[in-house]
Structure 1
Amino acid sequence: MSKPETAVPAVAHHPVAHESFPEPRSRREFLGLARAVAAASATVASVAAPRAIAASTDISNELIYMSATKLAGLIRAGKVSASEAVEAYIARQLSVNDMLNAVVMNSYARARAEAKAADKAAARGNWMGPLHGVPMTIKDSLDTEGVITTGATYGRQQFVPKKDATVVARVRKAGAILLGKTNTPEFTLGGLGGISAASNLLYGSSHNPYDLTRSTAGSSGGAGAIVAAGGAAFDIGSDWGGSIRGPAHNNGIAGIKPTSVRVPRTGHIVDYGGIFDLWQQLGPMTRRVEDLTLITPIISGPDFHDASCAPVPWVDPATVDIKKLKVAFCVDNGATGQGATDEDTKKVVRQVAAWLSGATTSVTEAAPTDVLKTLSAARSKLSSGDGYAYYKRLAEKWHTENISPQRKAQLVDPKVLSTAEMVEAWEQQDECKSRLLAWMKNYDVFVCPVSGKPAQPIDVPGGAMGGGAGAGGGWPYTGVFNSTGWPVVVVRAGSSADGKLPIGVQIVCAPWREDICLAVASFVEAQSGGWKQPPI
């Protein structure tokens, strides 16, 4: 096992004792590299990519902002080295992370060594896989061999896993290089309460790259922020109630919550099993939709540890005929007051519907309102019905005594349901899932907001997830699709009225139809432009 890397909280300016860091590259150096990359990229499409990687459509020419797909192609073509890519991303992290507090643990020394090894292997014609040399970060709730993985809880503040989580092992085997771990609330489930949803007692709060006073959402908030800021080509997050989709929305990137049990949860701090088993999904977070298409099948499929993981074939989104699709959409969850969906968000969703109306068979404003409301209520009962005993068990497992203030407050006087009430809520959830499948027979796609608002101020109660409805609350928004297990892709589709804050939309499809989700998300991205460079 390699020596664990040392934690470097983003608020500190001191380097790791055993490693010296280069000064961040100047703008001139980055532009010089960008010109070289631009000249090289014209030849990439003609180079045979490993494992039939689709040619990139990304027009970005700076290493730190281009898609992972494009970067992998340039490395494969010999136009950029893995070492150049790693150094560019390390420099970017060093220049922005003090502001973002997104990367809470680095593995720079190992990343440099792995990049050199990757370049030597490439010189011999040996390619690890479709992500050969591509730098990444990983949410701190996923185990990383040899690199401290806290899960944002005190009991694990010096915990060094002996092996990678399954998804981490798979992307590393495909050639990706780990640069560091990204911020998350404790156990991904317990924040500091009333502030950023990517906050914890160990590392504090992450900040949004489009406005440092705004929330990143959570729980994959550090991941969303650093990917949006060009500090990693991609990250892998987890989603229990909106934890990939909320940060994708708030930070203006693309993210996918795959169909439940497509991707194994082995090695995540809240893994598989139990009453909430089917709610937890893992998926990549990227700047471009094409990278979701590249990475999701790499991490999918049984690992023979996650007992629920299913061997369902992956369908190529390129085979989807958009013209044949029937689309439903909604712009509002009917909430009032702080939880109401704002006009900017409604306008963006309606614009997406207008784009699709000219490209698909039909677009209808419709939603299974009553079923979604009932499902949301059942989910709420289930998630708190044991008085958060599941959270106490996690804390006891890792010997954490000083737990998240948010959860500590909920444990003071927990409302525990009877066994009969819990079973009734469970049955109600499953009945709603069946009714939703029946409704979805009339459509191929459902488009709705991710949250009621764009990113809200960090220190405003209710602002942590992007609005009162929040990423994780509200019947047509995120939590209900963890209960159903349906696949959802989020892509930036517009901005707030002042043009400063990104607004994403959810592209929801029936189980196992990630191909449709991704095809529609790619279309929306082409219309909107998708991710846009933040001001930092």
Structure 2
Amino acid sequence: MENLKKSVAKKVIKGHSRRAFMGKLSAGALATACLPAIARGSSKPLLIREFGKPAEPSEIQYKSVTAIAEMIREKEVSALEVVQTYIARIEDVNYQLNAVVMECFDRAIEEAKKADNEISKGNVLGKLHGVPLTIKDSFMTEGVVSTGGTIGKMNFVPEEDATVVARLRNAGGMMLGKTNTPEFTLIGGVLGVNSTNNILYGISKNPYDLNKTTSGSSGGAGAIVAAGGAAFDVGTDWGGSVRGPSCTNGIAGIKPTSVRLPRTGHIVDYGGLFDSWQQPGPMARYVKDLDLLTPIMAGPDFKDAAVVPMPWPDYQKVDISQLRVAFFPENGIANTDPATIETVRKAAKWMDEVALDVTEDCPRELLVELGTIRRELIIGDGWQWLKRATERAGSKTYGASLRERLENQGAVISTAEYTKLLEMQDANRSKMLQWFSQYDVIICPTTSSPAGDINSGYNEESRYMDNPGESYTKPFNTCGWPGAVVRCGQSADGLPIGVQVVAQPWREDVALAVASYLESKSGGWKRPPI
């Protein structure tokens, strides 16, 4: 452990004793700042406090999922009115964003009418009764074309929903349409285009600046939620595909702990070498909605055999005054821009007001090692895993990015080398967990910069799916740790900057508690100019 500690850059910002914390509290410094609590190893009563919450606009299309659901249950507004408002918003903005690529408005309107009829009888369909949503086009959706961005599925209409989609609809959610994704959620469509795109539906754009990227692969989801065209969406995260778009589009999102949510019905589903890397996750404008949505989708479906039936922890019972926080504003791998660095430092200072201990610490050498292993595993079989995906989808024509990989396969390593990489990956994950045992939560960038230009030109490194800017998210896919994103700042030209909050396995409550506190300090999501 001593050698491990020497391999990281470490700086203590401030270590708070319990006495010092209570002194601050008595002085009134924390009047609005502390979350409810689970004391570390203590049987003391929970320390419950409220802190400031982001104000929700009066317009229904910008309200939280939680508020919309309550308003419908209390008959303050009808499900039909809400659905029609969101449809109108999509029609107002989507021609510029190209975020929603397939709509099912008529069905949603009919379902909303039925939902209102049930409310009139005193029946509530579920926690999401009447709430409008969109779904990433990589999920299978009953009766609605589901392509995964690949031409082999351009006319594919599934007979059933993906598991997470079915659970949301069974809870009363109203699906309005599908949102854009790169081919197979992994590969962009056009070489040199820096945004979610594919050869079927084209390029999605950022609602804060139409010349900027949405990130990916849940880029259509991030854009339409930020713009008020959906109350929430569900993305998938293989290397940052929920967290990156949440950051660049200024919303909240979470990648849960690996194998908490089923992948059944996703175009890149369960099984295979990279099984544990991928997780579905909700994307919404407010952190509290992530807590509402994730447990609805979680738990075994008896198809995805890896899913673990873990209980969902209550983030409102986390005592942030007892948390040990590690933060790093840059990792020494990506060229991180000054505004992002400053935003992370600001978030660390906010945590320093309330947490037990805040330490600047980055396991850089472990991150470099993990990134190298991941890259070699991805390309080590000559992209045969990706070729099999195209064959299963029936795709004979691909976007240029995918074609470039399949036609220039590169060297295939031996079985012995491949199995050694798998052993190295597991050893690294163990070392990462040992490092993390000193802390409860990590605060770091989500992306190396705010949204970049769509017309950015070809990046040679991207052919290996190894963009250095993704070094802030990919390690936590490999480790399987939960990570939430919340907007905490913006660039000089008004582009959102989201901070990533990573917790130990199965402790989404800690990630959401910290994200919620940071949201209360920063104000979180802000309405885009579109």
SS at match of 1:64: helix
Structure 2 partner of 1:507: 501
| 1:264 to partner: Cα distance | 0.4
* Residue 390 (1) aligns with residue 388 (2): no
| 1:396 to partner: Cα distance | 1.0
CA contact (8 A) 1:215 1:464 kept: no
The aligned amino acid for 1:399 is G
| 1:471 to partner: Cα distance | 9.8
CA contact (8 A) 1:340 1:468 kept: no
Deviations 1:417-461 (A, max 9, x none): 211111111111111110111111110001110111100000103
The aligned amino acid for 1:162 is E
* Residue 98 (1) aligns with residue 95 (2): yes
| 1:207 to partner: Cα distance | 0.3
Deviations 1:183-204 (A, max 9, x none): 0001101112321331000000
Structure 2 partner of 1:17: none
CA contact (8 A) 2:375 2:466 kept: no
* Residue 262 (1) aligns with residue 266 (2): no
Deviations 1:110-160 (A, max 9, x none): 000000000000000110111000000000000110111011111111100
Which of 367, 373, 377 aligns to 1:378? It is 373
Structure 2 partner of 1:521: 515
CA contact (8 A) 1:86 1:135 kept: yes
Structure 2 partner of 1:109: 106
* Residue 488 (1) aligns with residue 483 (2): yes
SS at match of 1:379: helix
| 1:410 to partner: Cα distance | 1.5
Q: Partners of 1:111 and 1:518 in 2: how far apart?
A: 31
Q: Partners of 1:246 and 1:168 in 2: how far apart?
A: 22
Structure 1 partner of 2:46: none
Aligned-CA RMSD value: 2.0
Structure 2 partner of 1:10: none
- 5 Å matches for 1:35-74? 58-74=55-71
CA contact (8 A) 1:241 1:472 kept: no
Deviations 1:295-324 (A, max 9, x none): 001000000000100001111101100100
Structure 2 partner of 1:239: 237
- 5 Å matches for 1:401-412? 401-412=396-407
Greater RCO, 1 or 2 (C-alpha within 8 Å, sep 6+)? 2
Q: Partners of 2:93 and 2:335 in 1: how far apart?
A: 33
Q: Partners of 2:511 and 2:464 in 1: how far apart?
A: 23
- 5 Å matches for 1:300-311? 300-311=298-309
| 1:468 to partner: Cα distance | 13
Structure 2 partner of 1:447: 443
Structure 1 partner of 2:31: none
Structure 2 partner of 1:285: 283
Q: Partners of 1:464 and 1:271 in 2: how far apart?
A: 28
Which of 456, 459, 469 aligns to 1:460? It is 456
- Indicate how the Cα distance of structure 1 residues 348 and 480 shifts in structure 2: closer, same or farther if over 3 A, else same: same
| 1:288 to partner: Cα distance | 0.4
Q: TM-score, normalised by structure 2?
A: 0.88
| 1:497 to partner: Cα distance | 2.1
- Indicate how the Cα distance of structure 1 residues 508 and 174 shifts in structure 2: closer, same or farther if over 3 A, else same: same
CA contact (8 A) 2:254 2:484 kept: yes
Q: Partners of 2:223 and 2:348 in 1: how far apart?
A: 27
SS at match of 2:489: strand
SS at match of 2:326: strand
- 5 Å matches for 1:306-325? 306-325=304-323
Structure 1 partner of 2:250: 252
| 1:469 to partner: Cα distance | 13
The aligned amino acid for 1:76 is R
CA contact (8 A) 1:448 1:476 kept: no
Deviations 1:67-97 (A, max 9, x none): 1111111111110110000000000000000
| 1:406 to partner: Cα distance | 0.8
Structure 1 partner of 2:330: 332
- Indicate how the Cα distance of structure 1 residues 463 and 504 shifts in structure 2: closer, same or farther if over 3 A, else same: farther
CA contact (8 A) 2:141 2:160 kept: yes
Structure 1 partner of 2:132: 135
SS at match of 1:411: helix
Which of 133, 142, 155 aligns to 2:152? It is 155
Instruction: Give 5+ residue unaligned stretches, structure 1.
Output: 1-55
* Residue 430 (1) aligns with residue 426 (2): yes
| 1:483 to partner: Cα distance | 0.4
SS at match of 2:472: coil
Q: Partners of 2:124 and 2:381 in 1: how far apart?
A: 49
CA contact (8 A) 2:133 2:233 kept: yes
SS at match of 2:233: strand
CA contact (8 A) 2:448 2:470 kept: no
CA contact (8 A) 2:332 2:364 kept: no
- Indicate how the Cα distance of structure 1 residues 471 and 408 shifts in structure 2: closer, same or farther if over 3 A, else same: closer
Q: Partners of 2:508 and 2:459 in 1: how far apart?
A: 30
The aligned amino acid for 2:427 is E
Structure 2 partner of 1:205: 203
| 1:60 to partner: Cα distance | 2.2
* Residue 341 (1) aligns with residue 339 (2): no
Q: Partners of 1:450 and 1:468 in 2: how far apart?
A: 21
Q: Partners of 2:209 and 2:111 in 1: how far apart?
A: 34
| Higher mean C-alpha deviation, range 378-387 or range 251-260 | 378-387
* Residue 298 (1) aligns with residue 292 (2): no
Q: TM-score, normalised by structure 1?
A: 0.87
Structure 2 partner of 1:83: 80
- Indicate how the Cα distance of structure 1 residues 180 and 248 shifts in structure 2: closer, same or farther if over 3 A, else same: same
- Indicate how the Cα distance of structure 1 residues 236 and 209 shifts in structure 2: closer, same or farther if over 3 A, else same: same
Q: Give the fraction of aligned pairs with identical amino acids, expressed as a percent.
A: 54
Q: Partners of 1:59 and 1:226 in 2: how far apart?
A: 18
Which of 342, 350, 353 aligns to 1:358? It is 353
Equivalent pairs counted in the alignment come to: 477
The aligned amino acid for 2:433 is L
Deviations 1:207-245 (A, max 9, x none): 000000000000000000000000000000000011001
Q: Partners of 2:95 and 2:66 in 1: how far apart?
A: 28
Instruction: Give 5+ residue unaligned stretches, structure 2.
Output: 1-52
